[in-house]
Amino acid sequence: MLSSASSAPAAGLIDGHGRAITYLRISVTDRCDLRCRYCMAEKMTFLPRSALMSLEEIALIAERFIARGITKIRLSGGEPLVRRDVVDLVRRLGRHVSTHPAGLDELTMTTNATRLNEFAGPLADAGIRRINVSLDTLDPDRFRFITRTGDLGRVLAGIEAARAAGIAVKINMVALKGLNDDAFPAMLAWCGERGLDLTLIETMPMGDIDEDRTDRFVPLGAVFDTLADQFTLTRDAHRSGGPARYWNVGEYGTRLGLISPLTGNFCDSCNRVRLTTEGHLYSCLGHDDRVDLKAAIRSGGLGAVDAAIDAALLAKPARHDFDIAASAPAVGRHMSVTGG
């Protein structure tokens, strides 16, 4: 059994550019039960299970981050709910929410909601109070095309199950030219009628996906202008811990968020790092530089983990290098490897 104790002091997390790191995203699996066209190739080769960290190792590393000042953790994938016993991890980390002197303000999850009808209750009981659901269209045929395999009905049932369990739901919608760029007003209205916030996201050049992303790219500035003609949008200073900028939707009292890594760089306020299911800590989504926390915890315990974290923060770049027009993806790994 690995020990959660460390002789090293719980030093804070400050990167080489003076930014305080308070947000950890953890991919608990690279596997997913969908094959969204902008995220994955149709035929994916996933990591062998032997390459993954155990949930115990993930928990110990996460708890070390909490001791050093992380206040928000998001569990993601792939699809986190396809990993067996993930609720046990949620339950363990959920015990750190609102604890003092060091604890989490929030434990959240990003999911495609295909399994949420089954898991909503257990997740709520384990400490999840808010989730992001990836949903790019409300049209069943388009949904199946975008995801290649998905059943929209299962997703909508999962969303309702989460709401019934008392979990706040935010919808994440990736803007895709020719697939859903005519549906932003309808999605905003659908969310508003149900009291759900909506965040729109520009597609990011990560991993080979069988398609040309430049054909699907939609700049969110133009999208915002279209929505502002139809809804009363006023700037909101709300921050969720991530990169989104928010507006209040006057007709519904909900929020619209925009994540625009390509047309509206947000790196100057970056407060996050990402831990993959195989133990790689990425200090930047748009760079391949990483440290191996799985090797560190197995060889030297949490003291070695601390040293590796410090090295990663010192090397954290000032900004990402995303360019949708580049001939190759900015990074070779898929988003499902790093975690959304």
Which residues make up each annotated binding site for S-adenosyl-L-methionine? Answer: 38, 78, 134, 204
Q: Which residues are annotated as a binding site?
A: 25, 32, 36, 38-39, 74, 78, 110, 134, 170, 204, 267, 270, 272-274, 284
Quick check: 208 and 41 in contact, CB under 8 A? yes
Residue 40 · residue 32 · CB < 8 Å: yes
Contact 109, 123 (CB under 8 A): yes
Task: Tell me the C-alpha to C-alpha distance, in Å, between residue 118 and each of 123, 157, 285.
Answer: 10, 10, 31
Q: Are 271 and 20 in contact (CB under 8 A)?
A: yes
* Polymer length in residues for the chain: 340
Tell me which H or E stretch contains 200.
strand 197-202
**Count of CB atoms situated within 10 Å of the CB of 50:** 6
CA distance 269 to 322: 17
Annotated binding site for GTP: 25, 74, 110, 170, 272-274
Q: Tell me the C-alpha to C-alpha distance, in Å, between residue 149 and each of 34, 141, 143, 144, 146.
A: 6, 10, 9, 6, 8
Specify binding-site residues for [4Fe-4S] cluster: 32, 36, 39, 267, 270, 284
Dist. CA 110–CA 158, nearest whole Å? 13
Residue 170 — φ and ψ, nearest 5°? -115, 135
